[in-house]
Amino acid sequence: MSTLEFEEKSVEDAIDLACRELKLPREKLEIEILAKGSSGIFGIVGARRARIRVTTKIPPVGLAAEKSKDVLDEILKHIDLPMVVEAEAKEGYCYLNIISNGSGLLIGKRGKTLNALQFLVTKIVSRQTGESVSLVVDTENYRSKREESLNLLARQLSDKVKKSHRSLTTGPMSAQDRRVIHLALKDDHEVRTKSKGEGTLRRVIIYPVRKAKESPKAPEPPKAPEQTE
């Protein structure tokens, strides 16, 4: 769980600040009062600020999921379409699912718009939390459908490589798509994969595994003639 300290003129002000900064209600915070603060003499001499230590009652990935939802909601406000964002924390990932009747606009060609949203939200939330965030933004189950089509493509390319004994290269792919290709063929012992290229032009090369030639066996020595009595 994430732990942070906050200072304000009073304990209540410090708690309000924590709720605003963390974007969480008071009941989801464990609050420890480190200093109650004092107004001092005439509110000037000897004044001390209140200080509290706050621990979130939800795991870090859950907190990141809520923050990610808030960020994505704010971005989508600029698109004139009715949308609802669902957030879920699962297996170390934050999953954001956009429910909308304009999914084609959100997905873009080969998922480019969806990937751009995912990249942008990841960068913003990572900067806000100071931690690396594993985030997946999806709509209309596009990610699972895309993964199925990439798995099929990987198997088809693998078969062609085995038959021709020549390497094949995919078109430019995102890091997420390249990962699917690599994983799809990692247990295929007849081919290997590697990424090549820079930036948005990075591709996957599938090439055949060359079998080692068997060394010729040494000729057996001639058998001695059988002796007859």
Distances (CA, A) of 93 to 103, 115, 116, 125: 22, 16, 18, 13
Q: State the Cα–Cα distance between residues 196 and 203, nearest whole angstrom.
A: 5
Domain ranges in the chain are: 3-57, 61-140, 143-208
Count Cβ atoms below 10 Å from residue 105 Cβ, excluding itself: 12
Burial class (CB in 10 A: 0-12, 13-18, 19+), 180: buried
Let me know if domain 61-140 sits in CATH 3.40.50.150.
Answer: no
Burial class (CB in 10 A: 0-12, 13-18, 19+), 192: middle
**pLDDT per residue of the chain (229 residues) written in tens, 0 to 9:** 568 899 998 999 999 998 888 777 888 788 999 988 776 555 555 578 899 999 876 656 777 888 899 999 999 988 888 889 999 888 778 899 999 887 788 888 888 899 999 999 999 988 887 777 888 999 989 999 999 999 999 999 999 999 999 999 999 988 889 999 999 999 999 999 999 998 878 999 999 998 765 555 556 666 555 544 4
- Prediction pTM value: 0.58
Q: State the Cα–Cα distance between residues 54 and 30, nearest whole angstrom.
A: 6
CA-based angle 53:57:55, to the nearest 5? 15
Residue 133 structure tokens? 């965030």
Architecture of the domain delimited by 143-208? 2-Layer Sandwich (3.30)
